[in-house]
Amino acid sequence: MASSSKFRKLENPQTPEKDDSSDTTAIGYVHNVTPIKLSTRTNIPYFNCVLQTERSTFHDVVSFTPEKRNLFLQAADKKTPLKMTNVSKSLSFSPTSPNRTSLRCHRATILAEAAVNFPRNEPATYQSTVTTMPVKNVLTDAALGDHVCITAKIMDIDDQITNIQTKSGRNLPLKNCDVADISGSIRVSLWDTHIDQVNLHNSYMFDNLTVKDFDSKRYLSTTVKTTISNARDITEVAFDDKINQPTKVQGTPSLASVTISNACQGCSTKIDLAHSQMQSTQSYKCQSCKMRMKLSQCKKTCTVIIQFNNNPTRFSVYNDTVTKFLTSCNKLNLLNDADALEEFLIDNELILTLHSAESRNPKTIELA
């Protein structure tokens, strides 16, 4: 006898069963709106959030309409209920959806403010993993990998965006900033869409930052789950301007390492051209975005690591900075020859301009 329920019991719970109906209406509080991401399989933009539809009932939400993200953010910031009309349901095995229901938002979905008769509560897993603390406690008490929430003021921010190649091969934009509250200051790495969400001298609540460490120096980094919202202006901060002033390092490198890789022109994913070259083909089809390009049109990315005598610090110089440096020296051809670029670096006296004395990523390089 067929079940009248929209969801029948699955013998294999590892494979969610989709429900393509799009006439479902859901009402509740919005939590944890993520930045816009790209699907690794289809290269389609999307974002996630959690919808609380009862006092202790939560549903994962995936939206393939980036233009609606601001409406979700406004509902989350104002903590007002949101009504979603024309959403699809499917089964979910995420810990944030204990009732195993996931919602899909698409172009036909209509969003509107609503009213509910239950209080707003944070998802249980979110409460247990993110700790709110002052900056000083992040520096002294938080463990590496912890997820924290801080409210702080932007005291300084990089002038330029640096493109960093991730472990997956994608190039993501990065901008570092220094933030402070009354207890202390710390560096925050802003990735991708988070870069445009802050302005100098404004105060924000940074929710779900990850605690990291570099050269025994603690810092924070945004993740795909990080949310940034406006906060009341912080008038008293513990921030030492002298420590955070730009500084220069000069000398002839004693060690140099150059990594040159190829990236897709369409999605910036790292690609391996060895197979295409072995097959004597003149084109390459990216396995991420499925776009084909001529081998000659692949983007080159270059990362340099240098170290000076009597200085244990290894400075990492990323593609944009390296390219500008070689252009100023009329040596752009070295981007195609890692060995020749390494020789050039250890044969010349360089001047590195750093964002601060604590920085390990030069803003600029020039010949002395």
Q: What's the pLDDT tens digit per position in 164-201?
A: 776 656 678 888 899 999 999 999 999 988 999 999 99
Instruction: Please identify which residue in the block is written with the tokens 């404004």.
Output: 202
Spatial neighbors of 305 by CB under 8 A, at least 6 apart, are 255, 256, 257, 314, 315, 316, 317
What's the confidence (pLDDT) of residue 13?
A: 33
Q: What's the pLDDT tens digit per position in 237-284?
A: 988 765 567 788 899 999 999 988 887 777 777 777 665 554 567 788
What's the confidence (pLDDT) of residue 367?
A: 93
Give pLDDT < 70 ranges for the chain: 1-23, 40-42, 91-101, 124-128, 166-170, 215-216, 241-244, 273-280, 288, 358
What's the confidence (pLDDT) of residue 341?
A: 94
**Could you write out the DSSP letters of every residue in 151-198?**
EEEEEEE-SS-EEEE-TTS-EEEEEEEEEEETTEEEEEEEEGGGGGG-
Task: Considering the domain delimited by 18-119, tell me its CATH architecture.
Answer: Beta Barrel (2.40)
What letter represents residue 290's amino acid? Answer: K
The pTM for the full model equals: 0.49
What's the confidence (pLDDT) of residue 299?
A: 78
**Rounded-to-integer distance, Cα 331 and Cα 329, Å:** 5
Which residue from 320, 366, 365, 34 is spatially nearest to 175, judged by alpha carbons? 320
Q: Are 84 and 26 in contact (CB under 8 A)?
A: yes
**Rounded-to-integer distance, Cα 45 and Cα 286, Å:** 18
Which fold does the domain 133-230 belong to in CATH?
OB fold (Dihydrolipoamide Acetyltransferase, E2P) (2.40.50)
Phi, psi of 61 (to 5 degrees): -125, 135
DSSP state of 125: H
What's the confidence (pLDDT) of residue 170?
A: 67
Pairing between β-strand 227-230 and β-strand 283-285 as defined by DSSP bridges:
unpaired
**Rounded-to-integer distance, Cα 176 and Cα 151, Å:** 17
What's the confidence (pLDDT) of residue 128?
A: 45
What's the confidence (pLDDT) of residue 56?
A: 83
For 247-270+298-367, the fitting CATH number among 1.10.10, 2.40.50, 2.40.360, 1.10.287 is 2.40.50
Extents of the domains making up the chain: 18-119, 133-230, 247-270+298-367
Q: Are 248 and 362 in contact (CB under 8 A)?
A: no
**Rounded-to-integer distance, Cα 289 and Cα 281, Å:** 19
What's the confidence (pLDDT) of residue 146?
A: 85
In this chain, the answer to whether the domains covering 18-119 and 133-230 adopt an identical fold is yes
